[in-house]
Structure 1
């Protein structure tokens, strides 16, 4: 297993305030220190990081500083997480321009993956046509990713028009994008992560792990997710990509990373035995 960690736990999942009035600046942003996050992730024993687009763009004029941060902590830059509404034609061009700028910088700094979430839920409810529009927009994201030698994957997420299993099944035939299952979001949306991995195995190049119980996202081993079955299935599928732990928030971010890394160590020992 290649094990990574998302830096968003350091500061939590928020957004860039400029996005309220300017779509091109509508980034995800964790308010914590990326430098502290990378050091803590490395100390916990992970080998790579994923970060939000807003945190990545903070290094637009400090690229060498970012490269040195990774080098000093022996970390790989796995990928960047971004997103959009994707169903409103008037703002789609701006969203895609933003995503292209993010992809270009991520590629230049050595990333492998471009992960996108989204698909807005309208105030009056979801239209069936929204899935066609979302699929078409995601195909444009795929083209952007390929332009910069990145692997594009879609991340189902609570609060979007693709959070339930039937919604995911509507979308996937309408787009060529890969799937990045977030195991906890899938369960919270009413799905079974093991079954989703089985169903879309040929379209999974990247995966997010986090645990879940009683409506709360948790470090691995602190909820009831069936990671033993998931890892066994990934082994059977000869999956050789990254598994990134992505825990939105935790009172002590470093401790949260350590808990999840310790939990995964048992599977590494089992594989070596």
Structure 2
């Protein structure tokens, strides 16, 4: 007898967000039947981090999040809930975590946003980024400092009923299977879980299905994203290989089978950072 599906599916706002028109995504997502959406913490995902981790170009110090930025974002999400019945599932934060000068600012911003998540009834804080990849060999001390910072956020979010998860990602501190295993061996999983994104993993020659089999008990959130034609690509070009679900190489049936077998009852958010068509057309193709 087939297992009952206990997880729900939502859609990430960033296909519209990166184009500067997030408000247009809400009525469309509601019209096609979605209830849950995820968004980035800042209105531009702290452009500094987007450029840095996607290796687009060098940039100066990160811009500070102003009260106006925060309130505009809050108004946008309130409108999505009140006018379209959409629910915020999570927010995605990029931080460096181990820079002693930057961490107090990062921590305070993310903790403030965690309270914001609580006010919306959201249950997940997605953390990405980390110290720059490739700048120097990653030491055991680097991993311990990285895990400690995430655990600090996780301990805080747990008190608010929110689960902190880390998202392995291209060009970030954890992007390969070896790095992920190294991280999972030391992090306190009572405080920090995983968000699995198969597209990032396959580009780094990792098997997301095997990773899910290994770490399913610690996976609290999932991104459904596909990728194709990425062999031999470097830098930003790899991000252009992300595609609609089913158009790439990710084995989603195997992923779903594991989710069903494990009685996964969290959320899976369909995601595409940038559409080669339109945000709307890509969404429709992914859910077809």
- Scaled by the length of structure 2, the TM-score of the pair is 0.79
Higher mean C-alpha displacement, 86-95 vs 176-185: 86-95
Match of 2:254 among 223, 229, 234: 229
Q: Does 1:109 align with 2:97?
A: no
SS in 1 for 2:250: coil
Question: Structure 1, residues 175-220: CA drift from partner, whole Å, max 9, x if none?
Answer: 2210000110111122101011111111011100101111211110
Moved more, 76-85 or 53-62: 53-62
| 1:5 counterpart (5, 8, 11) | 11
**Is 1:260 matched with 2:283?**
no
| Partner residue, 1:78 | 89
* Alpha-carbon offset, residue 149 of structure 1: 1.9
Deviating beyond 6 angstroms after TM superposition, the runs of 4 or more aligned structure 1 residues are none
Count of aligned pairs:
244
Alignment equivalent of 2:106, drawn from 50, 73, 95? 95
Alignment match, 1:119: 130
Please tell me whether the aligned partners of residues 133 and 171 of structure 2 are also in contact (alpha carbons under 8 angstroms).
no
Unpaired runs of 5+ in structure 2? 1-6, 46-66, 231-240
Distance 1:164 1:201 in 2: 17
How far residue 72 of structure 1 moved from its aligned partner, in angstroms, is 2.5
1:135 is displaced (CA, Å) by 0.6
SS in 2 for 1:146: helix
SS in 2 for 1:175: coil
Supply the RMSD in Å over aligned alpha carbons: 1.9
Give the stretch that moved more between structures: 195-204 or 53-62.
53-62
When structure 1 is superposed on structure 2, of 253-262 and 31-40 the one drifting more is 31-40
Q: Which residue of structure 2 lines up, in the alignment, with residue 42 of structure 1?
A: 30
8 Å CA contact 2:23–2:76 kept in 1: the answer is no
Aligned 1:198-237 pairs, distance under 5 A: 198-215=213-230, 216-237=241-262
Residue 156 in structure 1 maps to residue 168 in structure 2: yes
1:132-211 alignment, distance < 5 Å: 132-176=144-188, 177-211=192-226
Contact 1:38 1:70 in 2 (8 A): no
Q: The residue matched to 1:35 in structure 2 has which SS?
A: helix
Change over 3 Å in CA distance of 1:126–1:43 after alignment to 2: farther
Kindly provide the CA deviation profile for residues 154-194 of structure 1, in whole angstroms up to 9, marking residues without a partner as x: 00010012100000011112222100001101111221010
1:144 Cα offset (Å): 2.3
Deviations 1:114-140 (A, max 9, x none): 000011226642331211111111101
What per-residue deviation string (whole Å, max 9, x for no partner) do you get for residues 66-108 of structure 1?
3342232232211100021112222211110111111111211
